[in-house]
Structure 1
């Protein structure tokens, strides 16, 4: 660890030491995005969120989990007017402004330096008190006398998605309220969703009196689909000090990062980009289940969008017609190889569970499983024997352009078993047909990952670099399309793109694969880095750190189990048992990680289904709080 990083680490540990008995060390500079030039387009401003509510800082909009407006394909997240976007107005002062997102603590700070005072405005979506958006304005004097600060709030126009009720404001109270319903339910029989919002009145002027060196004002926004829930959260927050709100929030984020994170040395841009991708995903996911407002997922509205009518025909082969695979340039096609293989895996799962665990099943249930297995066995999976590749769908021509990776996904994340030459053909053939400005990072992620499987390091690095075209501005906002796309970047805050970058690191350069009886690992150095690490890899109750260097890697067991042991082996070595807090160093080769019963010395068999994208992502560090292996 270099001196600068060590110094920064010491500072960070001192900040957190009083709230943690086991402070862990991360380089803050790899987790801070900052600029003096704040984006005028609020799409490129950073998001703060907690899985229940989120906003782009200083924008006029708040979004809440599960609150959608519009019927069927018109469904979209309903816009709630922002009440936390508080800003300072400069009047008659020479001032400068600086903006920073602290991803370690989940706090955005606007710093204003004036001739008479230093002003800090902090914005965060509380990590555990999920109904809350908090804004704290702090003034610290630089000269004597009365100091004033003019404030404004960016609420925007009334929402076109909500029908507002008449507010009931208590005279003399600083509390304001907004009660509304969505205008149009998503489905015919659906209900219009209620929204209850309470917030602190924002005065036009704050005054720092002559006898005070500084002052802090706290402004709370609380939002829920339940009136009592929102009001209770607001009242609890108003009874807390600014320090308590900050510390409890920052401590919760500290625990998230402590559960798992990535470290990259020698390439700060890659480090910041990976951390930004992970931050934007984590800030969209709650830490615990919410019985009042269950988490509805990351993707905005897509669950209500029909993608065509599929049919299943039982004849000599099982076929699926009228579908669309990942390639959005081709829809209403027959026998998409990606779709059919996904269906095959799903149909095989019941028999796998039955045969592995032998649960009690009725005769009817046994018959249903047998039917599923029969259909899976006869599912048509297109393959060209002559050219040794998988056609994307029936009638696909090799001179057609595709938007994004499709067939290449058979190898990962679906893990279809195939010869090396077929795996390479599925990449090379479709890579030539891919629209260079069409896809998000997911395509280049899968291409890079496949190149690494084929040990084509330079081509893998080229594809890795392609993903950075979709990262925008000082706050590293991921977009669906690169800026060079003639029709624009389309969707922003595009979590799919962030996930693509992370998958390349975890499943590409760390080489992690989730198999039936073990975990594969094939570490490689990230492009233009000196070393990097996957901290907090969770597997069947064990936690390991993986540190990757130029020609070797180091594996350290940081959490174990009393009833099982974990060991590491390759084809030429016996299984080496890992000991708690002890490291083993290995050359950059493929290894397998097994979980064994020490009483019998053999690998244990647990439930292992053929991995999907979601299951592979369940290995991804702090997300184990949501997806448990």
Structure 2
């Protein structure tokens, strides 16, 4: 294009519309490049080039384009098919199955050929060129998506249909803070990236494959963990999604149900009963971690998976998932696994779980990891509870193993050792014992909760994974120690990079990028720390606490038992608005201290409240 006297170039991410844009501005024209993954046509990516002439110019304007894509892959056996509606077409399958003899998934891709240049002619004031890419597991789905995209292009509605879908998503999920701008930006950035990773609101016929720590990863030479699914999904991301979008949360659980067969085989191969979910999961549920030690020892993942099912059940009372869609089979299999994984100690007269790696991966082959044993105990208690709800006989083994499982506790120092033999001050990689308080809600006195935080805060690696300090912040918020909470939350900002609020896993920039796990932990500080939300069997409890520089917090779109709620919290009061309320069950607010009850109806508000049933 003609060399202008002055050129400015800028890039931007519009989180509300899910669109990246790059703009080239000169005295004679503006060229804009937009790129987005279409939010309602979920198999479609799109980009556009728009050239707009400035007033007083008339010469042709040409923009050179460069498309680095080459249809080759070291992982896929790709074949070229016939062009389809002007699009190039390739298809193939993975060269190596996930496990020996396992399936080799297929991929089908259609894309609009990119010319070397586009030109805005003399008589044209503005022109837009749109390019589509459709990727799906079947030829039919790829072609259907591409055809729908072409129809939108012809109607001039491709980008607007995408932005309308994002607008609908944001309407159901809003977190407004009156506070420091960096905090507000971080919250919206985290929400945007997490919402980008969830299945569409209409999940009918859509097979969801889970959320990896780096989202839609590069997958080359171990980048972003090859897109595998860890406990990061169930423990760190899931609670935020559940709070707003239970249908998307259900799709995450359906992914785990769909991999149950692989989890059963994992347990069997190690000599145990029931289901052992893999440390790294992909399509089959078999262990795909490249380093055997993690798959063999970091078994807390199985309890983490079940904790997500428990939170979903108490928040939605979706009996169908458990009675008809495979949820109960998964719950039962996890309980069976934990019982078979324990051994009885005659000396201590309790059950032990030996030879594990805790969340703190600096240690392995330890006995009685406090977190692992506590999450196993929670699994068994939930399995027994839901069995009673469904009038299913509860195996006595489940009750006995839960009651007599050792969770290490130092009665003299009044804190939880990370495992048998842990020495106070020994370095810890990441949040571990502090997770007993939240999200596990393991019963303990506030003094013990404080001692755990004090013990492990200086011992925890400062440059460890980004989600760690979020859980320390939640702990201090529970104890109403605001300055300490703020100090821990501030550490999270060191993992945020500009200009698009991309999170790195570790302070040195290594690990997964964009690190959704860190974002999930950060959001839990706001959504479960500042509000004090706790999901229990009988209620959604809340006990707000936030630092002095946050003047007001509004959380809109909270889902609970079919209702949609808006919470408005200041230092002086809390108001609850009901934006959607089914006829049954009717919700009511309960003031914990006085026992006073306030029924909630659509449009109703209440103030200064502590829990809801």
Q: 2:377 pairs with 344, 349, 356, which one?
A: 344
3-state DSSP of counterpart to 2:197: coil
2:199 aligns with 286
Residue in 2 aligned with 1:117? Answer: 29
Partner Cα distance (2:79, 2:523) in 1: 43
Distance in 1 of aligned mates of 2:429 and 2:594: 43
Superposition map of 1:538-549 within 5 A: 538-549=559-570
Aligned to 1:312: 342
- Post-superposition Cα deviations, 1:54-112, rounded to whole Å, max 9, x if no partner, equal xxxxxxxxxxxxxxxxxxxxxxxxxxxxxxxxxxxx66334211211111111111122
For residues 156 and 180 of structure 2, what CA distance do their matches in structure 1 show?
35
5+ residue gaps, structure 1, are 1-89, 595-629
Q: Is the 8 A contact 1:308 1:322 kept in 2?
A: no
Q: Which moved more, 1:120-129 or 1:108-117?
A: 108-117
Q: 128, 131, 141: which is aligned to 1:219?
A: 131
Alpha-carbon distance between aligned partners in 2 of 1:239 and 1:580, rounded to the nearest angstrom:
40
Separation in 2, partners of 1:101, 1:261: 18
SS in 2 for 1:176: strand
Aligned residue number for residue 489 of structure 2: 464
SS of the residue 1:567 aligns to: strand
Contact 1:525-1:549 within 8 A present in 2 as well: no
Q: Per-residue deviation at 1:137? A: 1.4
Report the equivalent of 1:43.
none
SS of the residue corresponding to residue 516 of structure 1 reads coil
Give the Å deviation of 1:579. Answer: 3.8
The question of whether the paired residues in 2 share the 8 Å contact of 1:225 and 1:293 is answered with: no
Equivalent pair of 2:97/2:103 in contact (CA under 8 Å):
yes
CA distance 1:435–1:551, change in 2 (3 Å): same
How far apart are the structure 2 equivalents of 1:515 and 1:333?
Answer: 31
Question: Residues of 1 paired with 2:595 and 2:422: CA distance?
Answer: 46
Matches within 5 A, 1:252-267: 252-267=165-180
Matched, 1:92 2:118: no
TM-score by length of 2: 0.76
- How do residues 324-343 of structure 1 correspond to structure 2 at under 5 angstroms? 324-343=357-376
Task: Tell me, yes or no, if the aligned pair for 1:327 and 1:402 is still in contact at 8 Å.
Answer: yes
Q: Look up the SS of the partner of 1:397 in the other structure.
A: coil
User: In 2, Cα distance between the equivalents of 1:477 and 1:422?
Assistant: 36
Instruction: Give me the whole-angstrom Cα distance separating, in 2, the residues matched to 1:353 and 1:196.
Output: 42
Aligned to 1:477: 502
> CA-atom RMSD, angstroms?
2.1
State how far apart, in whole Å, the 2-side matches of 1:574 and 1:292 are. Answer: 45
What is the CA-CA distance between 1:374 and the residue it aligns to?
A: 1.9
- The answer as to 2:386 corresponding to 1:386 is no
Structure having the larger proportion of residues in helix: 2
Q: 1:174·1:200 contact (CA, 8 Å) conserved in 2?
A: yes
State the alpha-carbon separation in 2 of the partners of residues 317 and 525 from structure 1: 40
Residue 395 (structure 1) aligns with = 421
Shift of residue 509, structure 1, vs aligned partner? 0.7
State the alpha-carbon separation in 2 of the partners of residues 525 and 309 from structure 1.
40
Query: Are 2:447 and 1:421 aligned?
Result: yes
Unaligned runs of 5+ in 2: 214-226, 229-279, 282-287, 298-340
**Residues 585 and 378 (structure 1 numbering): CA distance in 2 closer, same or farther, change over 3 Å?**
closer
What secondary structure is seen at the aligned counterpart in 1 of 2:30? Answer: strand
Change (3 A) 1:579 1:233: closer
Contact 2:35 2:47 in 1 (8 A): yes
Post-superposition offset of 1:219 = 0.3
Aligned with 1:178: secondary structure?
A: strand
Residues of 2 paired with 1:234 and 1:157: CA distance? Answer: 18
Q: Which moved more, 1:572-581 or 1:265-274?
A: 572-581
The structural deviation recorded for 1:573 is 5.1
Distance 1:527 1:203, change over 3 A: farther
